[in-house]
Each structure stands twice: as structure tokens, then as C-alpha cells.
Amino acid sequence: MTEELMLSGCLRNNATAQEALYNRFSPRMLGVCYRFAKNREDAEDMLQEGFIKVFSQMHQYRNEGALEGWIRRIVVHTCINILKKNKKFSDSIDITNAHSIHIREEMIPSIMQAKQVVECIRSLPLGYKTVLNLYAIEGYSHKEIAFMLDIEESTSRSQYTRAKSMLEEILIRKKIIQKPKKKTNFFGAV
């Protein structure tokens, strides 16, 4: 089924079109949810709630940009709203063990370890993980993140910096990467 047929069917609440849209985009959106969730069940709940919003807001899609990007924004915002309901993002943990370690992308030995890296990201505290996902992966600015999470922009920057440090330490501890001999920057400028 083409995107146009799915869209027109979804606007008419056609179950076949809704199922086709869900089947096409849910695997990738589950990956988005999984990065924000504690476990697969939470990710699946986020996904379901996200698609409920997608279907209820379908009339707002203006065919400007990719449909997948529009769905992704709704799913990300749904994840954030669920997390906001359950936890404050300004909370942080003591990072006395997180050192100022910097890594380069080429230090990650292979693409096969991407799953391990994602698992390490998921092990970060909620605020750190959320800001890291929004900034480094989803591409939101610290200003946008601050607005979405109802925190200060400086808190977003701080959470991101701490998340990078903690993630680098976890990757080194799990021997996914090696401690660099000199300072470099894996994540780019903050």
C-alpha cells in the first residue's frame, strides 16, 4: 500500500490502512522508544501510545517532509511525556566516578558492537539517557530539550556532558573501547 493510500485510509479511520501504516513504521519507532524506556515492555507501551496519537493527529499531517519524520516526532514527544509523568529530569546522580575521558568514533572497533553501545546508553540514569538521546541521536538543540523536558537549558547541557562522561567510562569498563592516550572528542562540540 502506498503512503498516499495509507494516509487517506487513516484519515477515514480505515483499519486496513492503519494496520499497514503501523506495520511499516512500528519496527523503527520501537527502536526509538526502546532508547528511552527501561525495558521492552515499557518501550512497547510507549509505541502503542505514540501510534494512538499518530492516528488521532493524522489530520494535522500536511505532507511537508517525510511521513516517517512526522511520526518519529510524535513518538519522541510521547516518550518524553510518559517519562515526564513518571520522573523529574532535573534530578541527577553523583558522578564522582565519571572522569573527563574523551573518545573518538574510530575507537569503537566494529558495527557489531552497536547493540552493546545502545545497552550502555540504556544503563545511564533517566535524565542523562533522555538528554543524550534527544541531543546526540534525535538532533534536538539544548533549548528545544529544555522546553520539552521543562528544565533549564543549562541543565540540558550539564546532563549531556555528564551522560557523555558516564557513557565513556562504561564503554571503557566493559572493554568496548580503550581509554585514549590523548584527549579527543567522540561526540563533537556541545
**Residue-level pLDDT at 188:** 55
Q: Which residue has the cell 518519529?
A: 72
Residue range(s) in the chain whose domain bears CATH number 1.10.1740.10: 3-86
* Spatial CA neighbour of 101 closest among 37, 146, 163, 147: 163
Q: Which residue has the cell 567522540?
A: 186
Instruction: Count CB-CB contacts under 10 A for residue 110.
Output: 6
pLDDT in tens, 114-156: 778 888 888 899 899 999 999 998 999 999 999 999 899 999 9
As a whole-number percent, the residues of the chain with pLDDT over 70 amount to 81
**Which pTM was predicted?**
0.72
- Tell me how far apart the alpha carbons of residues 74 and 138 are, in angstroms, rounded to a whole number: 12
As a whole-number percent, the residues of the chain with pLDDT over 90 amount to 55
Q: How confident is the model at residue 1 (pLDDT cuts 50, 70, 90)?
A: confident
pLDDT in tens, 72-125: 999 999 999 998 888 755 444 433 333 333 444 444 445 556 778 888 888 899
Residue range(s) in the chain whose domain bears CATH number 1.10.10.10: 89-190
**Residue-level pLDDT at 59:** 93
Q: Look at residue 20 and tell me whether its pLDDT is greater than 90.
A: yes
**Residue-level pLDDT at 184:** 57
Instruction: Give the three cell numbers for residue 46.
Output: 510507549
Report the CATH fold assignment for 89-190. Arc Repressor Mutant, subunit A (1.10.10)
- CATH annotation of 3-86: 1.10.1740.10
Average pLDDT, the chain: 83
DSSP state of 187: S
- Tell me how far apart the alpha carbons of residues 140 and 134 are, in angstroms, rounded to a whole number: 6
- Tell me how far apart the alpha carbons of residues 136 and 171 are, in angstroms, rounded to a whole number: 17
- Residue 185: what are its φ and ψ, rounded to 5°? -130, 110
**Residue-level pLDDT at 112:** 52
**Residue-level pLDDT at 91:** 47
Lowest mean pLDDT among 12-26, 39-53, 172-186: 172-186
